[in-house]
Amino acid sequence: MRILISADMEGATGVTWPADVTPGTEQWQRCRAMFTSDVNAAVSGFFAGGATEVLVNEAHATMRNLLLERLDERAAMITGRHKDLSMVEGLQRGDVDGVAFLGYHSGAGAEGVLAHTYLPNSVTGVWLEGEPADEGRLNSYVAAEYGAPVLLVTGDDRACIDAAAYAPDAHTVAVKQYVSRYAALCRPPGATAADISEAAEAAAAEAGRIEPEHRGPLTVEVEVDAAHLAGAAALVPGVEAVGPRRVRYTSPTAFEMIRCFKAVTTLIGNAVEADYG
Ligand SMILES: [Zn+2]
């Protein structure tokens, strides 16, 4: 049984503040240990449930946050960024029997701790096939296309509510309760690790290849907070402005959908200017 863990940081235990997830800060150094603890808890739960291989793919910012030296020695990890499938790199590296979204969070414009979609700000909403789409929903389409079910989602309670909509069969663990975008009611890593391990072990029982789902064509809309950012996004061939701050594109596959999304957000991020955005 081969499991892929896509590990994002905003939804990790104890994380509530921009500096907590900003590489180089003192707070980030501290939070890396709690993030690694969440991942190790999932790794041990999956192995207890029968996994034979667990691959961890770093999915936050520069994708160099987890402490390899503290990673469960049975797991392997893809660290660093610039990868074909970004947050869900690894799906294409052999058949995966199940995916876990660890440390996930609500999407741009929604209520949730450190809510955002790819970019920390500037994007104010994303819709996939007309449904509000957080990163979990976008990545779940890619996983389905590669024949891998989403088995486990962890994050704040809002991320778990989102998961219930896009992956109703997945187990969820709320490691913190939303108070505001920058505050949460938190539990210590020892307590959340026990819950994550238990959920991962139970989720492993549902692992197994599914028939690859080809749900395309897939239409995505992205709303931004300034008109010039929509203009930047529309530089991508096939992406059209449908309003002063909104663009739309349609992709034949989830693979192309997520890659176009990456291109769009990269160009938007590149067009953000200091102070005025
Ligand atoms: Zn994220």
> What confidence tens digit (pLDDT) does each residue in 28-52 have?
999 999 999 999 999 999 999 999 9
> What confidence tens digit (pLDDT) does each residue in 76-125 have?
999 999 999 999 999 998 899 999 999 999 999 999 999 999 999 999 99
Report how far ligand 1's centroid is from the alpha carbon of 143 (Å).
16
pLDDT (average), residues 175-203? 98
**Distance of alpha carbon 177 from its chain centroid, rounded?**
18
Name the amino acid, one letter, at 123.
V
pLDDT of residue 51: 98
Q: Output the pTM of the full model.
A: 0.97
Report how far ligand 1's centroid is from the alpha carbon of 59 (Å).
7
Report how far ligand 1's centroid is from the alpha carbon of 238 (Å).
25
Report how far ligand 1's centroid is from the alpha carbon of 15 (Å).
12
Report how far ligand 1's centroid is from the alpha carbon of 114 (Å).
9
Alpha helices in 167-207 (DSSP H): 189-204
Report how far ligand 1's centroid is from the alpha carbon of 135 (Å).
6
Instruction: Say how far apart CA 156 and CA 1 lie, in whole Å.
Output: 28
Report how far ligand 1's centroid is from the alpha carbon of 61 (Å).
8
Report how far ligand 1's centroid is from the alpha carbon of 122 (Å).
14
Q: Six-digit token pair at 97?
A: 């029997």
Alpha helices in 77-119 (DSSP H): none
Instruction: Say how far apart CA 75 and CA 240 lie, in whole Å.
Output: 42
pLDDT (average), residues 209-234? 97
Report how far ligand 1's centroid is from the alpha carbon of 224 (Å).
17
| pLDDT of 206 strictly over 90 | yes
Report how far ligand 1's centroid is from the alpha carbon of 198 (Å).
24
Report how far ligand 1's centroid is from the alpha carbon of 47 (Å).
25
> Which of 57, 46, 51 is CA-nearest to residue 103?
57
Q: Six-digit token pair at 31?
A: 């939070």
Report how far ligand 1's centroid is from the alpha carbon of 18 (Å).
12
pLDDT of residue 214: 95
Mean pLDDT (the chain) is 97
| DSSP string over 201-269 | HHHHTT----PPP---SEEEEEEESSHHHHHHHTTSTT-EEEETTEEEEEESSHHHHHHHHHHHHHHHH
pLDDT (average), residues 163-183? 98
pLDDT of residue 10: 98
Instruction: Say how far apart CA 6 and CA 54 lie, in whole Å.
Output: 11
> What confidence tens digit (pLDDT) does each residue in 244-260 have?
999 999 999 999 999 99
State the residue for tokens 């863990």: 5
| pLDDT of 60 strictly over 90 | yes
Report how far ligand 1's centroid is from the alpha carbon of 117 (Å).
6
Report how far ligand 1's centroid is from the alpha carbon of 73 (Å).
25
pLDDT of residue 94: 87
pLDDT of residue 131: 96
DSSP state of 107: P
Report how far ligand 1's centroid is from the alpha carbon of 9 (Å).
7
Report how far ligand 1's centroid is from the alpha carbon of 214 (Å).
24
